[in-house]
Amino acid sequence: MWLLALRDYDVFHLLDYLALGVGVAAYLVLEASSNPEWRNHRFEALRWGVAIALMWSSLEKFAYPDWFYPLVQEKPFLTFGMPRDVFIPMAGVAEFTMGFGLIWTPLVRRLSAIALFIIFNAAVYPFGRTDLIGHALIMAVVVAIAADHSREVHFLPALKRRLAGVPAGLAAALVIFTTGYWGLHIAIYGIGGDIGTPAGERLTHTPNPEHPHGMHGAAAIGSTAPDAYRAAMERMHGPMMRGITNADPDAAFVLGMIPHHQGAVDMAEIVLKFGKDPRNQHFAREIIDTQRREIGEMRAWLSQKSIPQP
């Protein structure tokens, strides 16, 4: 399934799923092993797979915080009243720390697993069953980790059993993962973020915040550029015309401008997918960044005025 996903998604942003899949696969292989010594390591392989996946994906909140701006603006209660630029990195720190906890001592890993299970379940209420389906495998794994009765510590046992080893281990994990994340990012995309990257891969750098790993919008439909452009314009026209019929001229402006901006984003994504001209690619990325920011600001204005979101 992971290899099939490479047809449509960026490999860099699929690495967390790769770690999760390898961890689950290793668990199944070790569980079926007739060698007792190998079998004893099955939960350890599972823990490492999920831990690496969570720690890797948590760094997106530092590398691409703007991905999450529209999300917290649309659902402001998620931030518990904190500014978004405070909440998003804090969420990244929490995710990284709980992922790290899954590879620590029996008590710490169980507490981390329980906390993660509660968080993933809490996300179902605002985001619905799609979120439940998307996180079902991770939720099943953390339940297995929480229920694991083994007390063995196979990796650096002396360090793990000392309280002083926790900050040292966490700091080492942070250095390893941040170095690996940004080092691989530079290797794939270059110093500027997109050097040497095929257009289809660059596209995933401007994802839907609720589904940040894949192509979306107009660029995700249509096998040719004309089909995609036509679909984007058709999708923009109706909401834009409905928005400008609002009796309040200020509300009409914002309600019409949001789909208009989204149409520009969709067109920019299409040229990133199908276009070849470097200058146009540059224009498209600037349009995506600017228009997404403005869409988020306009949605925040609608929320302040208690006007239903388009």
- Segments making up each domain of the chain, as ranges: 2-197, 216-304
CB atoms < 10 A from the CB of 209, how many? 17
Rounded to 10°, the helix 42-58/136-147 angle is: 130
What average pLDDT does range 51-75 have in this prediction? 84
Q: What is the pTM of this model?
A: 0.62
Residue 291 exposed, middle or buried by CB count within 10 Å (0-12, 13-18, 19+): buried
Sign of the alpha-carbon dihedral angle for 281, 285, 290, 295: positive
Inter-CA distances, 35 with 27, 28, 144, 172, Å? 13, 13, 21, 33
pLDDT for 222 equals 52
Q: What pLDDT, in 10s, does the model give residues 265-306? A: 999 989 988 888 888 888 888 899 899 999 999 999 998 899
pLDDT for 207 equals 43
pLDDT for 155 equals 67
Nearest to 89 by CA among 110, 61, 64: 61
278: tokens are 């470097």
